[in-house]
């Protein structure tokens, strides 16, 4: 028995949207990256309580001075650069059957564009930046990216990339490596959660802390899981233990 289509169903048609030039380029690079690198995902929980305290104490004054807020991304970027200095095989590129360790840390920051798509401007020599300089640098490249004011020098030469979807409350992101780099770090949403903490004498108790996940996709040709696990452990240690107050 044939059923008649509902009201208006006969007129419905799928909308076909052609890929933009940017979308096509991203698609090509992402497919190429997955075909080139054996991606492995590793995730670590990060305690942001120390960072949260610094943001509460210095946030208003920082915004009054700089004209913008003190974001989690700034702290993540600084901690990442410090950890990369201790784990240089992640600040590297694969060239044929060799691993090229880069002397400078040129940090790529993925930026979403107003009309769709992504671009990854680069903060050159990020190892030389203070916390405040890192915040300014991220703000600058993000604003210029969204205003289509980046030059070729701004988007080339990256050695490690961070993508930050945390402002949208994401839980876990498995990003695709930005070739020819060997890893990409994704920082997701930070939320208040009950966690078990230990006092200096070893006593356990429940506390409310600001917790988020940091996930890294790495190229298994270049490094092994144990190396990346140690990098993430060091990153978590820096985030919770660095003297951020002294830098502001």
Q: List active site positions.
A: 220, 224
* DSSP sequence for 66-89: HSS---HHHHHHHHHHHHHHH-GG
- Contacts of range 125-134, beta carbons closer than 8 Å, 24 or more positions apart: 126/77, 126/81, 127/81, 127/84, 127/85, 129/78, 129/81, 130/247, 131/74, 131/75, 131/78, 131/244, 131/247, 131/248, 132/66, 132/247, 132/248, 134/74, 134/77, 134/78, 134/81
DSSP helix/strand/coil, 199 = coil
C-alpha dist (Å) from residue 52 to 57, 228, 245? 9, 26, 11
Distance of CA 160 to CAs 15, 182, 235, 237, 245, Å?
38, 8, 14, 20, 26
Q: Rounded CA gap, 113 and 20, in Å?
A: 13
Separation between Cα atoms, residue 118 and residue 168, nearest integer Å: 16
């Amino acid at each position: 028995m044939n059923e008649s289509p509902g009201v208006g169903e006969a007129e419905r048609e799928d909308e076909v949207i052609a890929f933009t030039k940017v979308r096509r380029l991203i698609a090509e690079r992402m497919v190429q990256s997955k075909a080139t690198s054996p991606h492995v995902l590793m995730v670590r929980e990060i305690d942001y309580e120390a960072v949260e305290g610094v943001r509460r104490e210095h946030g208003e004054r920082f915004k009054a001075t700089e004209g913008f807020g003190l974001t989690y991304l700034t702290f993540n970027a600084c901690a990442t650069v410090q950890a990369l200095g201790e784990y240089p095989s992640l600040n590297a590129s694969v060239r044929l059957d060799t691993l090229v360790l880069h002397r400078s840390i040129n940090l790529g920051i993925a930026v979403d564009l107003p009309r769709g798509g992504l671009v990854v401007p680069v903060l050159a020599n990020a190892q030389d930046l203070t916390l405040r300089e890192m915040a300014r640098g991220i703000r600058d490249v993000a604003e210029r990216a969204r205003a289509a004011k980046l030059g070729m020098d701004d988007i080339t030469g990256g050695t490690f990339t961070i993508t930050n979807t945390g402002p949208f409350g994401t839980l876990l992101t498995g990003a695709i490596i930005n070739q020819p780099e060997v890893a990409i770090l994704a920082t997701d949403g930070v939320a208040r959660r009950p966690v078990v903490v230990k006092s200096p004498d070893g006593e356990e108790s429940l506390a409310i802390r600001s917790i988020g996940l940091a996930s890294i996709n790495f190229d298994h040709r270049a490094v092994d899981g144990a190396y990346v696990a140690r990098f993430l452990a060091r990153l978590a240690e820096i985030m919770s233990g660095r003297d951020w107050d002294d830098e502001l």
